[in-house]
């Protein structure tokens, strides 16, 4: 298995979902046909720092989150690096290491999966926003 990563191209912080600390939010990602991906770390960009995150991986169900594959509760960030102050708010790349790695398959025609997050606010004491690019 070769090292790889999925990077969602940004669009100047135009797509973000408010209330990551108030509701579950999911964003889709694709794995190419024939590829196998071992996920060890996720690095979302989040407005305001966080204390912990609950992480969920779902199958796709016709363009929306489907069956839950696995979840990890109370994952503490291993780093939170401020990458912007766009709109006068602190934007962080939050590195979350999964307690155990997860292997996903692209299958014969490629596969879509969903990454879901729910967070607890950190010391910035403000609602959290996930930049979904």
What domain range includes position 113? 26-124
**Contact indicator for 25, 86 with CB cutoff of 8 Å:** no
Residue 3: exposed, middle, or buried by beta-carbon count in 10 A (0-12, 13-18, 19+)? exposed
Please indicate, yes or no, if residue 8 is contained in any of the structural domains.
no
Please indicate, yes or no, if residue 83 is contained in any of the structural domains.
yes
Model confidence, pTM: 0.83
Please indicate, yes or no, if residue 131 is contained in any of the structural domains.
no
Please indicate, yes or no, if residue 66 is contained in any of the structural domains.
yes
Q: Say what the pLDDT of residue 123 is.
A: 79
How far apart are the C-alpha atoms of 83 and 110, rounded to whole Å?
Answer: 32
Q: Residue-wise pLDDT tens for the chain (133 aa)?
A: 445 566 555 445 455 555 566 668 888 999 999 999 999 999 988 888 899 999 999 999 999 999 999 999 999 999 999 998 888 888 899 999 999 999 999 999 999 999 999 888 887 766 666 666 5
Please indicate, yes or no, if residue 70 is contained in any of the structural domains.
yes
Please indicate, yes or no, if residue 47 is contained in any of the structural domains.
yes
- CB within 8 Å of 98: residues ≥ 6 apart: 39, 40, 41, 42, 55, 72, 75
């Amino acid at each position: 298995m070769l090292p790889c990563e999925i990077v969602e191209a940004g669009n100047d912080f135009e797509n973000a979902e408010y209330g990551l600390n108030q509701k579950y939010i999911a964003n889709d990602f694709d794995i190419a046909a024939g590829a196998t991906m071992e996920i060890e770390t996720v690095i979302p960009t989040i407005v305001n720092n966080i204390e912990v995150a609950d992480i969920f991986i779902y199958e796709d169900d016709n363009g929306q989150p489907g069956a839950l594959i696995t979840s990890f509760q109370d994952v503490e960030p291993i780093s939170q690096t401020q990458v912007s102050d766009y709109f006068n708010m602190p934007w962080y790349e939050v590195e979350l290491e999964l307690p155990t790695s997860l292997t996903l398959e692209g299958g014969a025609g490629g596969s879509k999966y969903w990454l879901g997050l729910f967070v607890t606010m950190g010391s910035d004491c403000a609602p959290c926003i996930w930049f979904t690019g």
